[in-house]
Amino acid sequence: MRVLIVSDAWRPQVNGVVRTLEKLSEALRERGVEVEFLTPEGYPTLPLPSYPEIRLALASTREIARRIEAAAPDSIHIATEGPLGLLARRACLAGGRAFTTSYHTRFPEFLSARTAVPESWSYRWMRRFHNAGQGTLVATPSLGTELAAKGFTNLRPWTRGVDTDLFNPARKNGIGLPSPIFLSVGRVAIEKNLPAFLDLDLPGSKIVVGDGPDLARLKARYPDVHFLGTCVGEELARIYASSDVFVFPSRTDTFGNVLLEALASGCPVAAYPVTGPLDIVGESGGGVLSNDLRQAALAALDVPRDAARAKALTYSWAECASQFLGHLRPAAPKAAA
């Protein structure tokens, strides 16, 4: 079986979409599935306004249609709603090819936070984009409920996984800062709501791992916070395992892969009771959810680390791959059917 995945989000970006697709492809290839990616690699790009780390590919529908035909995929999945996703969708519809999509990012909220574009306008466009496919994959039940209420149809569950060998409590090795240590990992950008964490009156130390357009501004505003920039692999795993509480201040993430990484590392979570944390942490005992984030962070200090780890062990990339395969549809053009 050959699967073509179209994604505007790709290396060198460091985010949940890229990590998910990379781990998904590994799990699919272990099953003998051929995976090909259509990404901005090889195309001229322009920086996304206000977010230059994200590059937008410049291509044409005809060119993307040729790429799809050359790949001769059995199934097509469009992972993002960027320029490549739009062109691939258009090429598939014109050629009578079936495809699925996935909803990773709340772009309506993203745009609203940076521009004057009303969320209702963006959601109207997003509905049209996704409802044209044979299924929209969503990471959590609560996200599916939200999108269904906004008119999205044919929603399908698609879980996530975590590398529990890499992210492991055994990697605890100390950070050399006053404890307790409160950690946040993710893009340093307005939609992550980081000031809700950074403004908290908490004992010990605060650490932020990640890069993004707001990094310089927040470093200047919060000189007592330890901004470590981008960390990956064993270094990131050590930081998770050596922290006391993982604070997740976002109210708009659709899942939050970092939540699973923290839990797998035995680091309890403190977060708002919103989509993502509700689905992953919920009543598991692996963390504390509250609209009072300070109360949640302090209460999470008493959460047993083995309880956090136990929740993460219920997720796997193998199950992620199984669900993904189960939702795919034959992509042969109608004329060849």
Q: List pLDDT tens digits, range 152-191.
A: 999 999 999 999 999 999 999 989 999 999 999 999 999 8
Render pLDDT for 259-297 as a digit per residue (tens, 0 to 9). Answer: 999 999 999 999 999 999 999 999 899 999 999 999 999
Fold of the domain spanning 2-161+318-336: Rossmann fold (3.40.50)
Whether 2-161+318-336 and 169-315 share one fold: the answer is yes
Residue at 175: amino acid letter: I
Confidence of residue 55 (pLDDT cuts 50, 70, 90): confident
Q: Region 198-206: what's the mean pLDDT?
A: 98
Q: How far apart are CA 259 and CA 329, in angstroms?
A: 31
**Residue 8: pLDDT over 60:** yes
Q: Region 245-257: what's the mean pLDDT?
A: 96
Q: How far apart are CA 75 and CA 84, in angstroms?
A: 17
Looking at residue 268, the DSSP 8-state letter turns out to be -
Q: In what order do the strands lie in the sheet with 100-102?
A: 34-38, 2-6, 75-78, 100-102, 136-138, 155-157
CATH architecture observed for domain 169-315:
3-Layer(aba) Sandwich (3.40)
Picking from 209, 205, 198, 197, the residue whose alpha carbon sits closest to that of residue 235 is 209
pLDDT at site 116: 80
Looking at residue 178, the DSSP 8-state letter turns out to be P
Picking from 327, 320, 262, the residue whose alpha carbon sits closest to that of residue 140 is 320
Grouping H, G, I as helix, E, B as strand and the rest as coil, residue 315 is coil
Confidence of residue 113 (pLDDT cuts 50, 70, 90): confident
Looking at residue 332, the DSSP 8-state letter turns out to be -
* Cα→Cα distances 278→39, 105, 227, 248, 272, Å: 32, 17, 27, 12, 8
Domain residue extents for the chain: 2-161+318-336, 169-315
For the packed helices 317-327 and 16-30, what is the interaxial angle rounded to 10 degrees? 80
**Residue 254: pLDDT over 60:** yes
Neighbours of 98 (CB within 10 A): 18
